[in-house]
Each structure stands twice: as C-alpha cells, then as structure tokens.
Structure 1
Amino acid sequence: MNTTSKKRQWIYGSHAILFLLLSAVILAAVNYLANAHPKRWDLTEYKENSLSDQTIKILSGLEEPIKIFCFYKNDDSDARSLKSLLDIYQYHSDKVEVEFVDPDLSPALTEKYGVQTYQTIMVTQGGRRERAALPNESKITNAILRTAKEKDKHIYFLEGHGEHDLAGSDQNGYAEVKKAIETDAYQISLLSLATMEKMPDDCSVLVIAGPTKDFFGSEIQIIGDYLDQGGRVFLLIDPGPIDQNLSELIINWGVQIENDRIIDPLSVMRGADFFVPVVETYDPFHAVTKDFQNVYTVFPLARSLRVMTFADKGLMCRKLAQTGQGTWGETRSDSIFYDEESDRIGPLNIAMSVERQRNLPEQSESDTTLPNTRMIIIGDSDFANNVYFYQHGNSDFFMNALSWLAGEEDLISVRAKEPHERRLNLTILQAQLLFWLSVVLIPLMVSIAGFIVWWIKR
C-alpha cells in the first residue's frame, strides 16, 4: 500500500515538475518572440498613442541613423511622457537612437550642443543637428526632416496681384498654411516677378494663391518659361474675372478654367450653404488623393475646371477632386437655379493635376534625369485660408498637393493632428446633482450601512 502510494506521489510529482518546466519553456519562448517581434495596439479613440502616417513614412525612409538628445533633469516629471513618445519612434525605426541627458551632470555635452535651457530636444545626424521646438510629434518629426534633408525645398508664393496674405492672421489670411509648410521643413518666401527676368533657380514650387488683379505680360512669360523647363506650379483660382493671359497659359497646359460658380444643394444639409461644395470623390490612384477614402474636403465659393485634350503635347491631366451628381456650374451671377441651356451639370472637376515630361533638344547628350513639368489647379483658394484650412481634409489635400509638386511623394500621407481635448460640460442642475450624489448621498449611505452592521454585531 505504501509502495503504491509512493509511486503515485512520484508520478504526480514528476508530472507537476514537467508541467512547470514546460510552462517555463513556453513562457520563455513567448517572451523571446515578443521581444524579437514586438507589436503595439492603440485602443484609444483618436489613436493618441500612435504616430501619424507621415511620421511613419519619414522614419521608414531614414537612410542614416538619427540620434535624439533630450536635455532633461533626472527628476523632471515631463521626461516620462517624452520617453513614451520617443519609444514609439524607436518602435517604427531601428535607426532612431534616444539619449536623455541631465544638463547638470553632463556640462560638456550640454555645451557642445549649445543648450541653454532645460527641456531642450536636439536631433542629430552626422554633422547636422536641429532643435525641436516642442516635445510633441509635429515638432520632433519636423526636426528629423530638417536634419535628414541634404537640401530644403524652396516654396515661393507669388505676390502683387491681390493674393492671400501669407502672414495674415485674419479670416482670409494664409498664416496657417505658412505654419504647415514650415512644419514640413520647406523654405518659404514671397516672390514678385514684376521686376525679374526669370524664375529663381532654387524655386521648387511656385504657388499662385487667389490672384484678383491682372498680370504683366512679362510675368506670364516667366511662368510659361518656367513650366516649359520642368517647373512646378500650384494655382488656386477663385470665381470671377480672370487674367486673359493667365487663362490662355493654363489652356495651353490642357485645362480650361470655367467662368462659373459651383452650386451644391446638398451642402445645406451638411450645415453649409449652396456655394460651399463638399467633395468626397477623388482620384484613387493619384499620389495626392490615394489615401482620401471617407474624407471630406470643402471648397467655399469655387469654380469648375474642364479637361482640354492636347495629345501632341503628351500631357497627362488627372481629375483629383470632383463634386457630386446634384451639383452644377452656375454661370449667372444673380441666380442659384439650374438652367440647362447655360449651366453645366455635375459631377464637376474642382481640382486637377497636369504632368508632362520635359522636352529635350534632340542634340542633347545629357544622361541626367530631368524633372517632369507638374501643375495642380484648384478652382478655389479660400479652402486653405485660416478658417477652412483645418476643416475636414483640407489641410491634407493642400499639403499633399504641395509635396507632389515638390517631388516628395514619399511624404504624402495623413499628417499629425493636434491632440483632442475632451471636456464634460455640465448644466447648473447637473453639477448640483453630481455634488449631492458624490459628496452627500453616497457617503451617507455607506455610513448608514456601516452603522447597521455594527448594530447587528454588537
């Protein structure tokens, strides 16, 4: 009996040991796989613990290692949230190295990078370095972009014809556009062609944002020559009179700017008015709009565009954004009712791209790959003003177009959004109910229950 009992105990004991060993092996294997192939899941509603698509693309495109120095005191509580953010950067790229430095304990390194204040973030690559203005994704990614770029692209905004004020902070200004362009590490300048003979050599993109006055013939000639030589132009043109020379120049590149105003009756149902068409139809294969599934863009006071066919010039015209079926192009200034004789029924083109390979002289023996001529035309400029720029997908549409024109398709994506602020707004009655419930009623009920238990057990 004792022998049988001991044998049974030995069997049970050996099984328990084997089970523990097997469990340990499985746990070790799972731990190894988790460390070798880490995965993250962000369950927050607005993906607040994830990086934007643009940042991920930038990180995946890094060719050289980036090192980020964070000059924070060891007991700084803000360093913890920054470390959590930078951990996500390192999760997406093994070329990102992070080092936290206490300026008081490492004065030599602090002096080397010219750090004057605590909570300074310095991004370095090789001999280049850039300071991140704030400890958030937008500023850190901007610093990485500036550090990784060998040469910044230069964006020129044309002035002198009533265009939007690039520094204007009023409703019609383009201050938000300027801020977004600088965030994407582009240089930005104003340009007047009235006294110039040609486009600046470092012009990556020429932006013409809502001109209201006529151009000099010499200016049109400079813009035309620039396009012929592989230039990039971003034209935003509102309803109303248009310079005839500018219109003819655009026609030569395959696009007719219509003399109308787009009416969208469904906009009223979305809280806007008839003259604010809401767009949700895009070219799904173009780099600018391929990620625009289920994204709205709004274009206040817009005009339509039409494709002109010039096969001999090898132009490729694409319809980037179109209005819905119920829209039309109203040609009469005093009407909002469709007239089948004079108005064009939708869908209407509201944004188009044009691309053409730069023609080379036959005698040229250059093997250099020359840039394509690229142009994007939008029948509205107000969609990018300070009021509308961050509404729906407007900012992404504008910045994606700019990136495509600048030849930086790899940076086209949905950009980082500001963190959502959540507030619980209570009425006076709701606040009073909350006070009486949490401060008075619940503590009173707990006290009564405790007294009853004491009374029963005494």
Structure 2
Amino acid sequence: MLSNLIGLIGLLLIITGALIFAINTILTTFSASLIFTGLLLILVYLYINFPKIRDVLLNRSAKYGANMAIMILIFISVIALIAVISTRYKRRLDLTATKRYTLSAQTVKILKSLKKEIEAIAFYRADERTRQAMEDILLEYSYYSPNFKYQFVDPDRKPTVAAKYGVSSYRTTLLISGKRQETVGMESEERITNGIIKVTRDSVKTVYFVTGHGENDIADFQKGGYKAAKEAIEKENYEIRNLLLLNVEDIPQDASVVIISGASKDFISSELEKLKRYINRGGKLFIMIDPGRAHNLIPFLSEYGFKIGDDVIIDKQSQVYGANYLTPVVTEYDDKHPLTKEFNFATLFPIARSVDMNKDLSKGAYPIIRTGSYSWAETDKKTLEAGKAEYQEGKDKKGPITIGSVTAVEAAKANESGKKIYARIVVFGNSGFANNTHLNLLGNKDLFLNTVSWLAEEEDLISIRSKDSEATPVVLTATQGRLIFWLPVVVLPTFVLAAGLVIYSRRRFRK
C-alpha cells in the first residue's frame, strides 16, 4: 500500500513539473525539482516492487506485450527521426497564386550578397497571435545567409532587454548591424528587406527630380502625380530632393541620379549645358519624355545616340490586358543588359512614343524595351484625334517598337585611381507608367525602381520585389455554392448513415 502511494506521488510530481515547464516554456528550478523528485520516487517504487514486476515480465503475455512495446518504440523512433530531420532541413511549399509565402527575388539577392552580420531581435509576447508569422519570415531569411541571425524576446519576461534597446511596444523587430540599428514594425518582408538595406549601406544616395518645366510633381497625390514613385524610391533607402536647374550653378556633387519626368516645356540653353556637364563628369540621367513634349530635349539626346520619334505607339493587342490601344503593353526586354536581363513581367505605358538606339555593346548602347509585333508607331496625329488610327504601309513603322533605350558615355576625367568613369543615360518614351495610377500595375514599379537602382550603380537592388498581401476571395456561382452545401452537409452524412444501417441490418438478420 505504501509503495503504491510512493509511485502515485512520484507520477503526480513528474506530471506537475512537466506541465509547469510546458506553460512557461522555461525549465525553472522549481519545475526541475518536481520532475527530479518524482523520478526518485518512481525508482523507489520500482525497487520495492521489483519481485512482482519481474514475475509479470516473465510470463507469456508479458513477452508478447514486450514485443509489441518494442515495435511501438521503433515506430515512434522513426517518426521522431523524421521530425528531427524535417526540423533541421525545413523547406516550405508555397502553393499560393502570388507566392505570398516565398521571399522575393530581390530579398534573396540581397541576403546572398550580405557581407555584414545582421541580428534581428523580435519583441513578441509568447502568446502573441502574430509571432508565428514573424518567425516563419525570419526563419526563411536565415536560410539564405549565414550572416543573418534572429532571436525572439518577450518584453514581459525580459523588460531589461526591451529597455536596453528602447522598445516600448509589442510586435517590434530591431535589425542591428554593427552600431547601426533600424526598427521594423509588423510582419512584412518589404519592411524587413528595406531595413536590411538601411543598416548595411555605408551611405544614403540622393536622387534629384528636376522641376520648372511642368514635370510630374513628387508631392502630388492625384492620379497623374509622382508621390507614390517618390515613396517607393525612399523605401529603397534613397534620399529624394527637387532640383531647379535655374537656381544652381551646377548639378550637386551628391546627385547619384537625376530624373526628368514628363517635362512639358523646353529647357533653356544654360540648363542643357548643366546637364551636359553632369554627364561629362559621369552622372546618371533618367529621362521620361512623353509624345509632343520637351522638344529641345530631343536634339540634346540625339547627341548621345537616342532616336526619339515624333509618333504615338498604337498596340491593338493591349486590349487583352484590359487597356486601350493607346497603352502599349511590353513583354519583350533585352536579355543581355543588366537592367532587363532577368525581368520577365509585362509593363504598360499609357500614351508613349518611340525611343530607339543603335545597339552597340562597346558603347553600352542598348534598345532595352520593345512593344509586340501587333503594334506600330503612328505618325498621323489627325487620324489619332479622330480615333481612327490604322497602320499605313510606308508611312508608319511596324512593331516591335522600341520604347526605352540606354547608353553609357565615357566621362571627361578618370577617377583618382585612374579608372575610367562612365555616365549612364536611360530614356523612356513615356512618364505615365510610373505615376500614381499606373505604378503598381503589372511590373511597372519593378521596372521603374530597377532603372533607378541601375543608374545609382546598386545592381543588387535590381530584381523583383516582395508581393503585396491581398485578399484572395473564392468567388462561387450559385450552382457551385449549392453543390458545396449539399455534398458535405447532406449527401456524405446520408451515405454514412445508410451504410451503417445496412451493416446493422445484415448483422441482425444473421442472428
């Protein structure tokens, strides 16, 4: 009787200690003491009852039971081994249509090129509902770089750690690299990747938007504005500034990229001279020129090999994408140039003109963006205004039509080490593709940001960015809805009930 009581108390102590550990997720001294004491009492119980236990184990039924126990133990061991292997070499299969749970190509590219160590400290409560989502993301990041490490801290249990880093709210993740630190909120791949860029870049490059000629306004949040484009560039860790050429003697030395977007008025000669000096010192220029606008930029750009047509591109195939024929859809890109060689998304350009270039690899001259074979460059503006545009043999140029080109220009002076410096110029025949209305359509945003990154000589940022989390509702017809209701709710239960009644009736009939 006493020995049974000892065994029961030992078992209860082990269960209590295990429950405390499971709830707290930390093996405290108290829970460890309970488990250890329980094990000692179990050993005492086994010692006292050893003769009885031996007799039970030696009988025939016990042998069969032992064999069964061994088989069960082997099965459990195999399952445990599979679990350990799957945990150590974990890979997830993403079956979502937009690959929502797969890291973007840009993130993978950045992680694989990491040269500095980064530690992510995620401040989440142990019972935080969104903790698992963040852990899944950070685990995925750690797969692609040994320099990326992460840990979770519960601010309630370790308030001193939270105070050390100045964290006062839950669901906060810090990215730390050396002495640099960036705070990331929420479970977002885009924010984490942008945070990595910020803590690993030695300096912040500046992008200037030229103003004073009717260009797209980076502060305008209306349909035709460029506020969304500005914010997208800033997320890539660039500083954005306006540049009024009339107010400066020269383009600032810190100008990593200068953008002229949709200028509607001519540039005066002194402004063009400043742009030329900027190119001669190895500057990076991104010009988006719409049909019928900024006429004196055309001869300026022709000096660098750009052939800008006085036309409007018509694309009857664009209706497949829900666009009108004045919005050419581009799916053909140069597969050799670093800006577009890995780009495989469709882009659309509302009301665009041709911007061609004779391909010359030795000069870095590439026509990189082309419309489809169903397009043409329309030169008859009266026909366009009447809405009766038709391809005219010998007058219009048949597609594919080049809509964007790039070139490299050797700078007047080499750098301090004697290495040649090359300016980079990109010209697109449309600026509307990056406005607030069209930036987030198809691959427009990636193409725009990749162009800025290539000009800024940050090729590791040229890629496809993370996906936006969107609701993906399942739309059913009335018939499909009724089918989904009747099959699981009525038909299947009825089938199971009928099968049970048949079996019951047959057994009763046999008796």
Question: CA-atom RMSD, angstroms?
Answer: 3.3
CA-to-aligned-CA distance 1:423-456 (integer Å, 9 cap, x gap): 1123456545544554455545555555565566
Alpha-carbon distance in 1 for matches of 2:495, 2:81: 51
CA-to-aligned-CA distance 1:80-131 (integer Å, 9 cap, x gap): 1111111111111110110111112222221222212111111000000011
For 2:200, the equivalent position in structure 1 comes to 148
Structure 2 segments unaligned to the other structure (5+ residues)? 1-74, 384-388
Look up the SS of the partner of 1:194 in the other structure.
helix
Query: CA 1:427–1:325 in 2, change beyond 3 Å: closer, same or farther?
Result: closer
Aligned mate of 1:392, from 423, 442, 447 = 442
Query: CA 1:131–1:333 in 2, change beyond 3 Å: closer, same or farther?
Result: same
Alpha-carbon distance in 1 for matches of 2:416, 2:502: 97
* Structure-to-structure mapping, 1:306-325, within 5 angstroms: 306-307=356-357, 315-325=363-373
* Structure-to-structure mapping, 1:106-145, within 5 angstroms: 106-145=158-197
Alpha-carbon distance in 2 for matches of 1:234, 1:135: 34
Alpha-carbon distance in 2 for matches of 1:191, 1:267: 36
Question: One-letter code of the match for 1:239?
Answer: P
- Indicate yes or no: 2:400 matched with 1:347: yes
* Structure-to-structure mapping, 1:7-26, within 5 angstroms: none
- Indicate yes or no: 2:241 matched with 1:189: yes
CA-to-aligned-CA distance 1:285-305 (integer Å, 9 cap, x gap): 101110124x32211110002
Alpha-carbon distance in 1 for matches of 2:111, 2:420: 27
Instruction: Please report how far the alpha carbon of residue 215 of structure 1 lies from its aligned counterpart in structure 2 after TM superposition.
Output: 2.4
* Structure-to-structure mapping, 1:209-220, within 5 angstroms: 209-220=261-272
CA-to-aligned-CA distance 1:364-418 (integer Å, 9 cap, x gap): x932546410010000111112222222222221111111100011221111111
Look up the SS of the partner of 2:287 in the other structure.
strand
Instruction: Please report how far the alpha carbon of residue 50 of structure 1 lies from its aligned counterpart in structure 2 after TM superposition.
Output: 2.0
Alpha-carbon distance in 1 for matches of 2:251, 2:279: 10
Question: One-letter code of the match for 1:304?
Answer: S
Structure 1 segments unaligned to the other structure (5+ residues)? 1-22
Look up the SS of the partner of 1:105 in the other structure.
coil
What TM-score do you get using the length of structure 2 for normalisation? 0.76
Decide whether the 8 Å contact of 1:230 with 1:370 is kept in 2. no
Question: One-letter code of the match for 2:399?
Answer: G
* Structure-to-structure mapping, 1:326-345, within 5 angstroms: 326-335=374-383, 336-345=389-398
* Bigger Cα displacement from structure 2, 225-234 vs 39-48: 39-48
- Indicate yes or no: 2:222 matched with 1:170: yes
Decide whether the 8 Å contact of 2:343 with 2:463 is kept in 1. no
Decide whether the 8 Å contact of 1:206 with 1:232 is kept in 2. yes
- Indicate yes or no: 2:458 matched with 1:412: no
Matched residue pairs, number? 432
For 2:472, the equivalent position in structure 1 comes to 422
Alpha-carbon distance in 1 for matches of 2:360, 2:108: 39
* Structure-to-structure mapping, 1:42-441, within 5 angstroms: 42-244=94-296, 246-293=297-344, 295-307=345-357, 315-335=363-383, 336-360=389-413, 366-367=416-417, 369=419, 371-427=421-477, 430-431=480-481, 434-435=484-485, 437-440=487-490
Alpha-carbon distance in 2 for matches of 1:117, 1:413: 33
Decide whether the 8 Å contact of 2:316 with 2:375 is kept in 1. yes
Alpha-carbon distance in 1 for matches of 2:119, 2:85: 27
What TM-score do you get using the length of structure 1 for normalisation? 0.84
Instruction: Please report how far the alpha carbon of residue 71 of structure 1 lies from its aligned counterpart in structure 2 after TM superposition.
Output: 0.8
For 2:65, the equivalent position in structure 1 comes to none
For 2:36, the equivalent position in structure 1 comes to none
* Bigger Cα displacement from structure 2, 297-306 vs 437-446: 437-446
Instruction: Please report how far the alpha carbon of residue 265 of structure 1 lies from its aligned counterpart in structure 2 after TM superposition.
Output: 2.5
CA-to-aligned-CA distance 1:214-241 (integer Å, 9 cap, x gap): 2233322222211111111111111113
Alpha-carbon distance in 1 for matches of 2:230, 2:195: 17
Alpha-carbon distance in 1 for matches of 2:86, 2:459: 34
Look up the SS of the partner of 1:275 in the other structure.
coil
Look up the SS of the partner of 2:190 in the other structure.
helix
Instruction: Please report how far the alpha carbon of residue 32 of structure 1 lies from its aligned counterpart in structure 2 after TM superposition.
Output: 10
Question: One-letter code of the match for 1:325?
Answer: S
CA-to-aligned-CA distance 1:34-59 (integer Å, 9 cap, x gap): 89977665455433332111111111
Look up the SS of the partner of 1:256 in the other structure.
strand
For 2:68, the equivalent position in structure 1 comes to none
Query: CA 1:452–1:316 in 2, change beyond 3 Å: closer, same or farther?
Result: closer
Decide whether the 8 Å contact of 2:332 with 2:369 is kept in 1. yes
- Greater RCO between the two (CA within 8 Å, min separation 6)? 1
Decide whether the 8 Å contact of 2:413 with 2:421 is kept in 1. no
Query: CA 1:187–1:370 in 2, change beyond 3 Å: closer, same or farther?
Result: farther
Alpha-carbon distance in 2 for matches of 1:302, 1:240: 10
Question: One-letter code of the match for 1:49?
Answer: Y
Report % sequence identity. 36
* Bigger Cα displacement from structure 2, 59-68 vs 369-378: 369-378
Larger Rg belongs to = 2
